[in-house]
Amino acid sequence: MNWLKNIFKSDHTPRNDAETFSKIDVDKVIKIDNIDQLGIEAGEKELPPTNATSYDANESKIILKFKDELSESFRKAKEKAEGLNIRISKIDINPDFQNIENLPEKIKKQAASLINEFGSRLITIKETRDQLSHDLKEFQSANNLSSLPDYPESKFLSITILVAIAFIESIGNGYFFAKGNEFGFLGGYTQALIVASANVAFAFFWGYLAVPNMNSVNKTRKYLGIISIPTYLLIAISFNLFVAHYRDELSLSFEGANLRAISAFMETPFLLKDFDSFILFFIGLIISIVALIDGYKFDDKYPGYGRIYRRYKEAEKKYHQCCSNIVKSLHNLKNQSLKELQDLYENSQKDYTHLNILLSNKNKLINLYEEHYRHLEGVCDVVLKHYQHANRASRKTPPPQYFDGNFSMPPKTELAGEDELVKDRDIQSNFKDQMIKLKTLYGITGNNLQEIYRNCFGEFEKIDMYFRNFEE
C-alpha cells in the first residue's frame, strides 16, 4: 500500500469524530506505475488476446491495489465506527434524571438538619433576650427612667485619663518626695507612684460606685449618694494633707518621717512647714477630683442602669447574629441546591449535544466511506481505461470486447446495517423525549426547592414571628 501514500490528495478537512479519506491523484498513479508503458508493451505482444474475457495480469495487479486500499479504508472506518458506538453506548441520562428526582428529598433532609441545629439555639437565645428585655423594662419602670442610658461606648478614653493623671501625679510627687528621700529620685518616684495610685483609684471607684446613688429614686440610696460627696471631700482632703505632712517630715529626716507626719496631721492638719508641701496637697486634691469625675462618667449616672442595659444589648446582638447566621445558612442551602439542579440539567444537555455530535459523525463516516468507495471505483476505472487505451494503440489485433465496458468494484461491505441505523435513530429519538421530560422535571424540581426554602423559613417564623425581618 506504500505506492498510494504518494498519490493521495487531501481534499477533506477533519470532521469532528468522522473518519476522513483522501482522494487519489490519477496522474500520479499512471506515472508511478508506468501504466502507459505497461499498456504499450502488452499491446505489442497482442495481450490480452482478442478473445479474452477477463483482465490480464497488469490489469489484475491494478485492480488488486485498489481493492487492498478499499479493504484498508473499510478496516479503519469500521474501527472508527465501533469506537463511536462505544462512546454512544456510554451516554446515559438516567443517572442525572434520577438525581434530579431525588434532589428535593435530599434537600429536605439537609433543611431538617439545619432546623434542628439552629432551632434550639434560636429558642435559647431568644428566651434570654426576652427575659433581659423584660428585666430592663421593669428596671426602667421601677426607677422612672424614660430615656436610654448615657455612657461611653468605649472605656478606652476613661482608662487613658486615669493612667495619665496617675502618671502626672507620680511624676510631680516624685520630684517633691525625692528631696527628702535618701534613695533620691528613684525612691521618691516609687513612693509617689504608690501614693498617686491609691489617690486616683480611691477617687475613681468612689465616683463610680458611691456618687451615682444620689440619682436613685430609692430614698435610702439617694441619701447615701448625697452624703457620699462631702464624705469623699473629707477623705480626699485628709489623705492629701497627710501626704503633704509626710513630705514635710521627709525634708527634715527620712527616719521616723511617717510617725512624725501622723502626729503633725493630728495636731495641726492645716499647718504645713514647706510651700512645696502646699503645692503637693493641691496637685493631689485636683487629680483626685478629676479621677472622681472620671469614675462618675464611666457609666450611666443612674446606678445599675448602664449594666443592665448592656446585658440586654449583648443578648440582642447575639440574637441578631444568630438570626443572620440562620438566614445565611438558608440562603446557602437554597443557592447550592439550585446550583446542583442547574449543573445536573446542564450536564444532561451536554450529554444530549454530545450524543447528537457522535451520531452525526457516525453518519458522516458512513457517507464518506460510500463516497470513498465510489471514488476508488472511478479512479480504478480511469487507470484501467488509460492502460487499455495505450494497449489498444500499440496492438494490431482487435482488443478484447471487455475493453469497452466499465470497471465495477465488488459490492461494498456496509459499515452499519439497517438494524443498527434504526437503533441509532431510536436512541436519538428516545433521548430527545427524555430531554423534554427532563425540562419539565427541571421546572417542577426548581419550584419544589423554592418551596422547601420557604417552609424552612416558616419553621423559624414559628419560633419568632419577626424572623422574616432578617431575610436579606
Give the per-residue SS3 of 68-82: HHHHHHHHHHHHHHH
C-alpha cell at 365: 463516516
To which residue does cell 439537609 refer?
110
Per-residue pLDDT averaged across 369-382, rounded?
94
Mean of per-residue pLDDT scores for the chain:
86
Class of residue 85 by CB neighbours under 10 A (exposed 0-12, middle 13-18, buried 19+): middle
Q: How far is CA 107 from the centre of its chain?
A: 20
- Share of the chain residues as helix, strand and coil, in percent rounded to the nearest 5: 80, 0, 20
3-state secondary structure of 153: coil
Quick one: pLDDT band at residue 276, thresholds 50, 70, 90?
confident
Given a cut of 90, whether residue 4 has pLDDT beyond it is: no
215 domain-assigned: yes
283 domain-assigned: yes
Quick one: pLDDT band at residue 11, thresholds 50, 70, 90?
very low
337 domain-assigned: no
Given a cut of 60, whether residue 193 has pLDDT beyond it is: yes
Quick one: pLDDT band at residue 301, thresholds 50, 70, 90?
very high
Quick one: pLDDT band at residue 18, thresholds 50, 70, 90?
very low
Q: What number of CA atoms fall less than 13 Å from residue 19's CA on the CB side?
A: 24
The residue among 68, 74, 66 whose CA lies nearest residue 377 is 66
Per-residue pLDDT averaged across 290-314, rounded?
90
Share of the chain above pLDDT 90, in %: 56
d(CA 106, CA 337): 9
Given a cut of 60, whether residue 305 has pLDDT beyond it is: yes
d(CA 415, CA 359): 14
263 domain-assigned: yes
3-state secondary structure of 396: coil
The residue ranges of DSSP E strands in 315-467, in sequence order, are none
C-alpha cell at 247: 513630705
Q: Residue 2: its pLDDT value, please?
A: 45
**Is residue 47 within 8 Å of 56, Cβ to Cβ?**
yes
Given a cut of 90, whether residue 107 has pLDDT beyond it is: yes
84 domain-assigned: no
Range of the domain at 263: 156-298
C-alpha cell at 9: 490528495
Run of H or E including 426:
helix 418-463
d(CA 18, CA 165): 91
d(CA 285, CA 99): 81
C-alpha cell at 182: 535618701
Per-residue pLDDT averaged across 401-415, rounded?
91
C-alpha cell at 154: 468605649
Quick one: pLDDT band at residue 8, thresholds 50, 70, 90?
very low
d(CA 213, CA 228): 9
Q: How far is CA 89 from the centre of its chain?
A: 36
**Is residue 457 within 8 Å of 122, Cβ to Cβ?**
no
Q: Residue 373: its pLDDT value, please?
A: 94
Q: Residue 49: its pLDDT value, please?
A: 95
Per-residue pLDDT averaged across 240-256, rounded?
72
259 domain-assigned: yes
3-state secondary structure of 133: helix
**CA 361 → CA 28, 110, 168, 313, distances in Å?**
31, 44, 92, 70
Domains in the chain, number: 1
Given a cut of 60, whether residue 112 has pLDDT beyond it is: yes
**Is residue 287 within 8 Å of 196, Cβ to Cβ?**
yes
Q: Residue 13: its pLDDT value, please?
A: 39
Task: Using CA atoms of 199, 202, 208, 210 in order, give the dihedral in degrees to the nearest 10.
Answer: -130
Q: Residue 3: its pLDDT value, please?
A: 46
**Is residue 377 within 8 Å of 327, Cβ to Cβ?**
no
Strand pairing report for 23-24 and 8-9: antiparallel
The residue among 193, 144, 147 whose CA lies nearest residue 167 is 193
317 domain-assigned: no
**Is residue 23 within 8 Å of 8, Cβ to Cβ?**
yes
Name every residue whose Cβ is closer than 8 Å to that of residue 410 and which is 6 or more positions away in sequence. Answer: 67
The residue among 342, 348, 360 whose CA lies nearest residue 432 is 348
The larger pLDDT score, comparing residue 451 to residue 185, is at 451
Residue 411: φ, ψ to 5° = -50, 130
In terms of pTM, does the model score above 0.85?
no
Given a cut of 80, whether residue 352 has pLDDT beyond it is: yes
287 domain-assigned: yes
Task: Point out the least confidently predicted range of 1-5, 110-114, 442-446.
Answer: 1-5
C-alpha cell at 349: 444537555
Locate all alpha helices (DSSP H) within 253-304, ordered by sequence: 257-267, 275-296
Given a cut of 50, whether residue 218 has pLDDT beyond it is: yes
Per-residue pLDDT averaged across 273-292, rounded?
84
d(CA 22, CA 69): 11
DSSP 454: H
